[in-house]
Amino acid sequence: MDNFIYDVPTKVYFGKDEEKKVGKIISEFGVKKVLIHYGGQSAKKSGLLDRVKECLDAENISYVELGGVVANPELALVREGIDLCKKEGVDFVLAVGGGSVLDSAKDIANGAANPDVDVWEFSMGTAAPKNSLRKGCILTLAAAGSEMSNSCVISDSATKSKRGYNSPFNHMDFAIENPELTYSVNAYQTACGAVDIAMHTIERYFCLGEDTYLTDALAEAVIKSAMKAGKDAIKNPTDYTARANMMWASSVAHNGLTQCGRTFLLPVHQFEHEVSGFYPEVAHGAGLAAIWCSWARYVYSANIPRFLQYAHNVWNVDIDFEHPEETINKAIDMQEEYYKSIGMPVSLKELGVKEEDLEKLALACSRDKTRVLSGYKPLDYEDMFAVYKMAY
């Protein structure tokens, strides 16, 4: 196993009605003013925002609001949030929503606490946060895992760039996870969430690393649980068991547990970030579903034993040692059929991606042919272009 440090400081409040504790939880930080950050109208229509405000009022905590976060959180809104925090003396950011809201809140907290640095430099990797405002979240969508991860992904529509960065300052101080708050999530977004959750761990499963059978067993359980919970939640949106297992899988899949002892890199996420950067209407989970199977078919020959293990332990495919490729391809086909069964796309064409943009995507993903994605099979520009074409 590779050396690793495992540190997840986020305190999780999980279960029914836990959001009613938010005022008391935040009061423990001794803050002066809170920024309540959220997305569209669902948090308002559901009454959740009003309940949050009542909890803050009960503890005499002042607050300001900023809504408008979209599916791929925008740099422009982040900058607006930073300015608002400075103007209002905000010292705590509360995200109410899904992963996009949480990532936007993280970037606002980092930008406000590092006023001498342009916040986009964090995303571009030319600077790193040295401090951050305290922050927490009330999760309303199980998908991105941002509630317990150290990652933050932001888009700049002006340049069609979508970039992520990791930092210990990206950890939430707390996450409130009430599965009932996800009952209203529609079937498509639930499916996108199931893909994203499983993919966070599937990609870790195929990162470089050996002799990690405990980590592997944890990963296999998370992958299978996420896919089952997603399908059950689509069938019955108010199935508490399904929603609860899906929400917890979201947190566990992206908090680092399923990568311990393995080198961290999520190559298919890198492919997809370019897609939803160019096409912001594309949901992240849908983009992952459209790309992963093509990526797997392109790289599996670089580590046959690893893919055989995945085929057998995750998809219950009997291993044909004389024809291992057939075993692997059967498992990949089964994953592709799973995506179809929950209404997910399995090609970029289904997402409205134009064929003439594939080369642009490869250039962007390779940073104009200067970046190689590491892995069992390292991927340069030509490889990236080939995968995009296969996925089309």
Percent of the chain with pLDDT over 70: 100
pLDDT tens string 292-319: 999 999 999 999 999 999 999 999 999 9
pLDDT band for position 68 (50/70/90)?
A: very high
Burial 113-139 (b: 16+ CB within 10 A, else e): bbeebebbebbeeebebeebbbbbbbb
Does the pLDDT value for residue 42 go beyond 90?
no
Residue carrying structure tokens 């499963």: 205
pLDDT for residue 13: 98
pLDDT band for position 143 (50/70/90)?
A: very high
pLDDT band for position 176 (50/70/90)?
A: very high
Q: What are the boundaries of each domain within the chain?
A: 11-181, 187-391
Please tell me the pTM assigned to this model.
Answer: 0.95
Q: What is the mean pLDDT of residues 150-155?
A: 98
pLDDT tens string 188-226: 999 999 999 999 999 999 999 999 999 999 999 999 999
Does the pLDDT value for residue 140 go beyond 90?
yes
Percent of the chain with pLDDT over 90: 98
Q: What is the mean pLDDT of the chain?
A: 97
Looking at domain 187-391, which CATH architecture does it have? Up-down Bundle (1.20)
Q: What is the mean pLDDT of residues 254-263?
A: 96
pLDDT for residue 390: 98
Does the pLDDT value for residue 72 go beyond 90?
yes
- Asked if the 11-181 domain carries CATH number 3.40.50.1970, the reply is yes
Written as one letter, the residue type at 386 is A
> Beta 161-166 vs 151-156: how paired, if at all?
antiparallel
pLDDT tens string 354-375: 999 999 999 999 999 999 999 9
pLDDT band for position 382 (50/70/90)?
A: very high
